[in-house]
Amino acid sequence: MSTVASERDLCFMSIADLAPMLKAGEISPVEVTRAMLDRIDRHNEMMRVYITVTREQALEQAHQAEAEIKAGNYRGPLHGVTVSLKDNISTQGIRTSCASMVKTDWVPEQDATVYANLRKAGAILVGKANLNEYAFSMNPNFPPPLNPWHLERSPAGSSSGSGVGVAAGMVHGSIGSDTGGSGRAPANVNGCVGFKATYGRVSRYGVFPLSYSLDHTTMMTRTVTDSSIMLQATSGYDPLDENSLGADVPDFAAKLGRSVAGMKIGIARGHNYSDVDEDVIRTVAAAADTFRSLGAIVEEVKLPYVEYCLDTYAATMNPEVATIHYDNLRSTPEGFGQRARNRLDLGNLVPATAYVHAQRVRKLMRDGLREVFKTYDLIIGPASPLITGGAGEDSRMVNGVEVNSRDLGDGYTNYYSLTGAPALVLPAGFSHEDTPIGLQIAGNWFDEATILQGAYAFEQATSWHTRQPPYPMDAS
């Protein structure tokens, strides 16, 4: 593109809008890729979206895609579209740092399955996205990305680079990981879509683990349709992933555009609404009214055993992450940031009885949620009880009470991580401080298509997804 304005339009274009232009030859994959790489070159130093930019590989892939499309070998809607990968996802011959000093120069010998599937679909990798250290702790050696709506606010994590990259027009779509909300939380605060499919739907092979029983691979996109496109390309059984499930892969876009009239939707009131910011309460109530206006039946529902969610998550995740890093922590403790060491030490202190009890509670949650979905098609609720806070903050005041923002912030996402049910976050409003607020939509196991149906209906009935952040600023 010849001008910054037209380049910006191209970089902010949805995958669904860009794909037919690429297929028809109205624009070339090389042109798209150069535009995105140029934008990354201008803004990555400030925004810190990427740890590694794969310029040379991206241009090679773009030229290949251009030749294939011209020859009539069109692979589908990701062919010639730029993507990024959270930098804990293995890429053959490309550094995969996990934002850690221990693995800062690690170059994998093979691709993660999720990336191999994207390559088969013709997607073009422009870079490895920034993240929290090993996807769970802040690290001064890899400063976090900046929130494109307010630079001093948190970008959330741990898939921060993926969320900021999509929201700031520095990639068309990204793959993150989500253990307790690590993909949905950045979608919430950066104003994009984050979709964690059913546990086992998308392969985790080649994604550096955080928690054996909680890790999911996540789609990060600008729109709901784009999320369905990326999920379609990356889903399916993988014999290399012991937790991969052999369920049939449906057409995830089949229900997009269908009416939600008559659909039964529950509003999950969560743990304790006294801990929920008034702006979040207002946003969820407005979303419920939107669904009612579309003909859905919306009523409150209690999530079974939700009051045990935070303790169950901690008793599961902390010992699992400590087990994963056990050897490295003892051989090279200096390679971990202080926060990471503290978290790992804590995990080693969790008694086995606590871990076993947590798994029993998870079964009760799953069984109870299964009963809920016999009545309701979808469950909606806050993505977080809090509006976007300051970068690095540990606590804040909510309704006159000081709360632990780090723990409380995950309370609405990790319920669906503990149960393995699919959940999506999409833009649903803005706070009085003009920061994005997301709505979480959850559905029954392996029924991602109904979540996408509901999310698409809401998206089309509102305009929140059309807003673009003020940063990074382009020269006029």
> Looking at the annotation, which residues are catalytic?
86, 158, 182
What is the C-alpha separation between 342 and 349, in angstroms, rounded? Answer: 11
Distance of CA 246 to the CA centre of its chain: 23
Q: Are 92 and 49 in contact (CB under 8 A)?
A: no
All residues at 6 or more sequence positions from 373 whose CB lies less than 8 Å from its CB, including other chains: 443, 444
In which element (H, E) is residue 322 found? helix 309-324
Distance of CA 161 to the CA centre of its chain: 10
At 50, list the tokens. Answer: 């990427």
All residues at 6 or more sequence positions from 410 whose CB lies less than 8 Å from its CB, including other chains: 180, 181, 185, 310, 313, 384
Question: At what angle are helices 29-47 and 4-11 packed, to 10 degrees?
Answer: 90
Q: Are 154 and 185 in contact (CB under 8 A)?
A: no
All residues at 6 or more sequence positions from 69 whose CB lies less than 8 Å from its CB, including other chains: 22, 23, 25, 29, 79, 80
In which element (H, E) is residue 165 found? helix 160-167
- Strands of the sheet containing 50-53, edge to edge, are 50-53, 124-129, 82-86, 173-178, 216-221, 193-196, 423-430, 436-443, 378-382, 264-268, 297-301
Q: What DSSP state is assigned to residue 162?
A: H
What's at 356, amino acid-wise?
A: V
Q: Are 433 and 149 in contact (CB under 8 A)?
A: no
Q: Are 301 and 376 in contact (CB under 8 A)?
A: yes
What three-state secondary structure class fits 125?
Answer: strand
Q: Are 455 and 228 in contact (CB under 8 A)?
A: no
At 172, list the tokens. Answer: 């068309």
